[in-house]
Structure 1
């Protein structure tokens, strides 16, 4: 393995645990999951799943930018929902940030997300 570089940015929330916002290894970027925290206040923003998803995608975008990437570099995305009934709403917002060819993706419902978030997204990108 050639180097493991930690990506740090103020364009996304600080890590709230023992993890990095992203790690770059051999031209691959592994981004930690983003929830709808405002990077300045570190508080959840948005009362609807659509509002929260926009904040999440802006946070993901901030981490990508810090690594000199954008959504076009994303090859895999994972979406975590606290209610799968919100899938169509999240999908619509998520799609507005991407272009074809879309990344591979999974979406799952989970019992609970950090800080009571409705949605979390993590991505893997190729530089």
Structure 2
């Protein structure tokens, strides 16, 4: 097994719990659930779903880049979504960010997230250019 590297992305708040933004073992990058928190640490729970989705995907991209990966390197994505009514809008925003790349994905409806957030996204990426 290759060594496991802990990654915290510059430009994002340090995680408040006992976890890192991501870990990397060889070519595999595992990204912890990303919330729509702003880079300065302020919350977006008061913003509409679309704005929260854009911020969450931007945070995911930032963490992947810190690990030497890109969105197009994702092989699996898990989305925790408050309110199944947001699924269609999320899918449209997600497709715009991922383009032709279609990693395996699960969208899991949940009851509530901290601070009024409406989604959380975790991912795994395989980086051939390790």
Q: Same fold (TM over 0.5)?
A: yes
Residue 56 (structure 1) aligned with residue 65 (structure 2): no
TM-score for both structures, normalised by structure 2 = 0.91
Equivalent position SS for 2:98: coil
TM-score for both structures, normalised by structure 1 = 0.93
Offset at residue 83 of structure 1 (A): 0.4
Q: Quick check: 1:11–1:63 contact (8 Å CA) kept in 2?
A: no
Aligned to 1:43: 42
Give CA deviations for 1:61-119 in whole Å, capped at 9, x if unaligned.
00011011111100000010110111011111111110223101000111111222001
Which consecutive residues of structure 1, in runs of 5 or more, have no partner in the other structure? none
Runs of 4+, deviation exceeding 3 Å: none
Aligned to 1:26: 26
Give CA deviations for 1:36-81 in whole Å, capped at 9, x if unaligned.
00011x1222611110000000000000110111111000000101
Aligned to 2:76: 76
* Separation in 2, partners of 1:15, 1:27: 23
Aligned residues: 126
Which consecutive residues of structure 2, in runs of 5 or more, have no partner in the other structure? none
Aligned to 1:2: 2
* Separation in 1, partners of 2:68, 2:14: 18
Q: Quick check: 1:10–1:39 contact (8 Å CA) kept in 2?
A: no
Aligned to 2:106: 106
Equivalent position SS for 2:61: helix
Offset at residue 12 of structure 1 (A): 3.0
Offset at residue 33 of structure 1 (A): 0.6
* Separation in 1, partners of 2:71, 2:118: 22
* Separation in 2, partners of 1:13, 1:93: 24
